[in-house]
């Protein structure tokens, strides 16, 4: 009897302690927080973080370091390549303003909805040359460096060029190549680069093997040579970097890229490359409890987080308890309302019709959306609202709203690994900061393995075309047409408090991004977690919005919880109408920098999910 009583006491103690910890936050972390006084660099791969540290050690600023990290990540195929797209937010300490970098490619000549429909497609393809928008990352890197950096392109690209000469490839990428080799074999230039052991049982490189990319190295050398020749002619640092830009988009690199794309069935022309331009934009912003949160414009999903925070301001989240069933339910409902607006209203602002962002981001609209949340039950039919009255306008698409969400026949298909892989695929993140006050948050992506390489450039083409739709009934703002940017999932984040940087944060993985970034932000703001605790804290994932990839499927009522979720919360959420699955990792990968103004230092957070890594000094 004594043994049973002791066992019962121990069980109750452990259960109570677990419940308390789960409803507050972890007090220990698997990875230590990073600390630095002079600079901080956090990204998706250790070697890339080291590239940033090399630039900082030479006196570069946070923009220089971010560009070096980006170049290294692209060279390592860290779920992206040089032919992908780059999105960034930069805090400029001189102007005390946040700048947005739009380096997303556009649909090429001939890419119309009818073109893809005539091929029997419901959406543009996931892979191959017809999935490609024009490359944006080279232009984004060169523009950031020219406008806000301090170093030469030669210095910043040196780590990436050394890697292109040969670096020990890590298991994650090597195994991804092996898994994708059947598709890689369809494209001759990809096959030449990736399959280093043709005809053998394993044709991809082995982990630790020195992976050499001669064509890519030659392309990078050409860019640096253009810069150096311009400097010899007396050009300024800035103009010399733009000479490299011109060689990539208007010179011999562009010519070979377009040729290699078209040879394999793609649409990108030399004129498409010459016409494309990086845009330096004003970001969008909202306030949450006195904190200014910045996101890119509606050509990304970034405003979803701003809309969600506006809705959540109408609730007392802290009193609900961290990851309680009530807390999860409230966030889930708020995010779904915002994502439904994303799915219908977001698109490229350079094209008509004009997106109703003023209405979507108004606090009054958020209050009305908040009233739709049933505290006792999930709403699997949550749809877009009507923000036009909050702009003093009439909705021109009210007829489409009536039937929205019914255009798909596979809404309730069970969750499977292929769906989740598409939903959470791609991307990396880069966070840098320096003692002068520069802060950079980047979410680059595109051209991931299996990538179709464009001719002898060594550059993998983007797969971002798949984020367009072909039918205006799904989203009248995001129907594919030439020169248009697709609405993407990529979403770097910056937050200011009292006019100074507070957080720089981002994560990889498609439609998950703003869901988990919102939870990360609330972990710190509502539950006082450290940045590392917030990176590792278990979150949850909703699949109730339309995926931006593949067949654009939707899983109404689907809720992914962490395996650690206690049984009473599982039961309560099940009773609210959720269809629940469980995963070991639901927290990231999130990378972040917190600015400790009291002590004059940086705190770096790096997810324990994947190979994310940071260095500070």
Report DSSP letters for 577-598, one per residue.
T-EEEEES--S--EEEEEEETT
Domain tally, the chain: 2
Residue 78 confidence class, pLDDT cut points 50, 70, 90: confident
Q: Which structure tokens are listed for 349? A: 């602002």
What is the mean predicted confidence (pLDDT) over 577-605?
92
**Could you give the CA distance from residue 426 to residue 445 in angstroms, rounded to a whole number?**
6
Question: Of all helices (H) and strands (E), which one includes residue 603?
Answer: strand 601-606
Digit-coded pLDDT (tens) for 478-501? 999 999 999 999 999 999 999 999
Looking at residue 415, its pLDDT comes to 52
Residues 98, 495: contact at Cβ < 8 Å? no
Mean pLDDT of the chain: 92
Going by C-alpha positions, the residue among 134, 153, 132, 135 that lies closest to residue 144 is 153
Q: Quick check: is 487 in a domain?
A: no
Domain of 178 in residue numbering reads as: 34-278+429-467
Q: How many CA atoms lie within 13 A of 439 on its CB side?
A: 28
Is 508 in contact with 589 (CB distance < 8 Å)?
Answer: yes
On whether residue 10 sits in a domain, the answer given is: no
Could you give phi then psi for residue 561, rounded to 5 degrees?
Answer: -110, 160
Specify whether the CB–CB gap between 583 and 417 falls below 8 A: no
Residue 547 near residue 348 (C-beta atoms within 8 A): no
Query: Is residue 177 a contact partner of residue 194, using CB atoms and an 8 Å limit?
Result: yes
Q: Is pLDDT of 48 > 60?
A: yes
CA–CA distance, 335 with 37 (Å, rounded to integer): 36
Phi, psi of 265 (to 5 degrees): 100, 5
Task: Identify whether residues 236 and 363 lie together within a single domain.
Answer: no
H or E element that contains 102 = strand 97-103
Examine the pLDDT at 608 and tell me if it is beyond 80. Answer: yes
How far is Cα 71 from Cα 54, in angstroms, rounded to an integer?
13
pLDDT(450) > 70: yes
- Reported as a pLDDT band with limits 50, 70 and 90, residue 407 is low
pLDDT of residue 311: 98
Q: Is residue 613 part of a domain?
A: no
Q: Which residues pair with 87 in a beta bridge?
A: 102
Residue with tokens 């094209």: 351
**Taking residues 164-191, what's their average pLDDT?**
96
**Domain final residue, candidates 448, 467, 486:** 467
User: Any bridge partners for residue 292, and if so which?
Assistant: 287, 496
Q: Are residues 559 and 453 in the same domain?
A: no
Cβ 279 vs Cβ 273: under 8 Å: no
Phi/psi-derived region of residue 289, left when phi > 0, alpha when psi is between -120 and 50, beta in every other case: left
d(C-alpha 519, C-alpha 457), whole Å: 40
| Mean pLDDT, residues 21-31 taken together | 61
Q: How many Å is the Cα radius of gyration of the chain?
A: 24
The stretch 572-583 carries a mean pLDDT of 93
In a domain, 4, yes or no: no
For residue 541, what are the CA distances in angstroms to 187, 404, 457, 515?
35, 23, 38, 7
pLDDT at 610: 76
Helix (H, G, I), strand (E, B) or coil at 487: coil
Average pLDDT in the 79-96 region? 96
Least confident of 77-81, 223-227, 304-308: 77-81
Helix (H, G, I), strand (E, B) or coil at 259: helix
pLDDT for the residue 502: 98
Task: Report if residue 12 sits inside a domain.
Answer: no
pLDDT at 39 (0 to 100): 98
Confidence grade of residue 17 (pLDDT, cut at 50, 70, 90): very low
Beta bridge partners of 561: 582
Question: What does the pLDDT read at residue 30?
Answer: 86
* Contact yes or no for 253/264 (Cβ under 8 A): no
The reply to whether 207 and 247 lie within a common domain is yes
pLDDT at position 534: 95
Residue 79 lies in a domain: yes
CA dihedral 53, 54, 60, 64 (to 10 degrees): -80
How many CA atoms are closer than 13 Å to the CA of 303, on its beta-carbon side? 24
Residue 322 belongs to a domain with what CATH number? 1.10.246.130
Whether the Cβ atoms of residue 196 and residue 177 lie closer than 8 Å to each other:
no
**Is pLDDT above 80 for 226?**
yes
Q: How many CB atoms lie within 10 A of CB 108?
A: 25
- Answer whether 408's CB lies under 8 Å from 553's CB: yes
Burial class (CB in 10 A: 0-12, 13-18, 19+), 208: exposed
324 alpha carbon, distance to own chain's centre: 27
Is 148 in the same domain as 272?
Answer: yes
Rounded-to-integer distance, Cα 407 and Cα 410, Å:
9
Nearest 5°: CA angle at 596, between 593 and 602? 45
Please report which confidence band the pLDDT of residue 22 belongs to, taking 50, 70 and 90 as the band edges: very low
Number of H helices, E strands in the chain: 23, 19
Name the band, by pLDDT with cuts 50, 70 and 90, for residue 564. Answer: confident
Compute the distance between CA of residue 543 and CA of residue 555 in angstroms, rounded to an integer.
Answer: 5
Residues 261 and 312 in one domain: no
Q: How far is CA 337 from the centre of its chain?
A: 20
Q: What pLDDT, on a 0 to 100 scale, did the predictor assign at position 609?
A: 76
Question: Do 256 and 315 reside in the same domain of the chain?
Answer: no
Q: What is the pLDDT of residue 123?
A: 97
Q: Are residues 511 and 408 in the same domain?
A: yes
Q: Are residues 408 and 544 in the same domain?
A: yes
Q: Is pLDDT above 70 for 134?
A: yes
Does the residue 399 lie in any domain?
Answer: yes
Same domain? 143 vs 254: yes
297 and 193 co-located in one domain: no
Same domain, yes or no: 295 and 209? no
DSSP designation for 537: S
Identify the pLDDT of residue 457.
Answer: 98
| Contact call for residues 278 and 143 (beta carbons, < 8 A) | yes
Written as six digits, the tokens of 397 are 């698409």
Q: Could you read off the pLDDT of 418-446 as tens digits, one per residue? A: 555 555 556 789 999 999 999 999 999 99
Q: Cβ atoms within 10 A of the Cβ of 477, count?
A: 22
Residues 6+ apart with CB under 8 A from 248: 138, 139, 142, 223, 254
Residue 442 lies in a domain: yes
Whether residue 269 sits in one domain with residue 332 = no
């Amino acid at each position: 009897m004594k043994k049973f009583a002791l066992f019962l006491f121990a069980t109750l103690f452990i259960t109570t302690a677990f419940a308390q910890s789960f409803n507050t936050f972890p007090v220990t972390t698997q990875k230590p927080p990073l600390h630095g006084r002079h600079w901080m660099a956090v990204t998706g791969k250790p070697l890339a973080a080291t590239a940033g540290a090399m630039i900082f050690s030479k006196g570069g600023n946070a923009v220089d370091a971010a560009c070096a990290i980006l170049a290294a990540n692209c060279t390592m195929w860290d779920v992206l390549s040089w032919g992908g797209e780059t999105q960034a937010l930069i805090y400029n300490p001189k102007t005390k303003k946040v700048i947005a970098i739009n380096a997303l490619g556009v649909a090429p000549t001939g890419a119309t909805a009818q073109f893809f429909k005539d091929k029997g497609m419901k959406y543009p393809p996931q892979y191959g040359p017809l999935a490609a928008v024009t490359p944006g990352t080279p232009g984004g890197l060169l523009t950031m460096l020219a406008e806000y950096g301090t170093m030469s392109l030669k210095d910043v690209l040196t780590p990436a060029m050394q890697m292109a000469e040969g670096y020990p490839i890590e298991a994650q990428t090597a195994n991804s190549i092996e898994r994708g080799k059947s598709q890689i074999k369809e494209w001759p230039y990809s096959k030449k680069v990736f399959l280093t052991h043709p005809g053998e049982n394993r044709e991809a490189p082995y982990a630790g093997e020195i992976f050499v990319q001669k064509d890519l190295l030659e392309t990078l050398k050409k860019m640096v040579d253009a810069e150096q020749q311009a400097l010899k002619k007396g050009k300024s640092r800035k103009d010399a970097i733009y000479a490299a830009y011109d060689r990539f988009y208007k010179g011999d690199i562009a010519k070979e890229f377009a040729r290699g794309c078209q040879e394999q069935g793609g649409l990108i022309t030399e004129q498409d490359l010459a016409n494309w331009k990086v845009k330096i934009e004003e970001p969008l912003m909202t306030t949450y409890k006195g904190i200014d949160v910045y996101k890119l414009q509606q050509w990304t999903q970034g405003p979803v987080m701003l809309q969600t925070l506006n809705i959540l301001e109408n609730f007392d989240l802290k009193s609900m308890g961290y990851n309680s069933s009530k807390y999860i339910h409230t966030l889930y409902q708020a995010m779904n309302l915002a994502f439904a607006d994303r799915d219908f209203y977001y698109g490229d602002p350079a094209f008509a019709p004009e997106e109703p962002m003023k209405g979507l981001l108004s606090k009054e609209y958020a209050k009305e959306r908040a009233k739709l949340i049933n505290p006792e039950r999930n709403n699997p039919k949550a749809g877009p609202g009507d923000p036009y009255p909050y702009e003093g306008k009439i909705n021109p698409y009210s007829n489409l709203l009536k039937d929205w969400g019914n255009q798909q026949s596979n809404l309730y298909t069970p969750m499977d690994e292929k769906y989740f892989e598409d939903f959470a695929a791609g991307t990396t993140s880069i966070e840098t900061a320096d003692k002068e006050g520069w802060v950079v948050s980047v979410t680059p992506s595109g051209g991931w393995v299996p990538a179709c390489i464009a001719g002898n450039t060594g550059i993998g083409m983007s797969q971002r075309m798949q984020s367009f739709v072909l039918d205006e009934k799904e989203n009248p703002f995001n129907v594919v047409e030439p020169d248009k940017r697709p609405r993407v999932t990529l979403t770097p984040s910056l937050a200011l408090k009292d006019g100074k940087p507070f957080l720089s944060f981002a994560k990889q993985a498609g439609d998950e991004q703003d869901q988990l970034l919102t939870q990360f932000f609330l972990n710190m703001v509502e539950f006082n977690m450290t940045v590392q605790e917030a990176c590792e804290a278990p979150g949850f994932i909703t699949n109730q919005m339309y995926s931006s990839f593949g067949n654009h499927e939707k899983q109404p009522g689907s809720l992914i919880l962490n395996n650690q979720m206690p049984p009473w919360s599982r039961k309560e959420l099940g009773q609210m109408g959720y269809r629940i699955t469980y995963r070991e990792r639901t927290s990231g990968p999130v990378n972040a920098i917190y600015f400790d103004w009291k002590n004059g230092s940086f705190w770096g957070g790096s997810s324990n999910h994947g190979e994310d890594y940071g260095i500070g000094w």
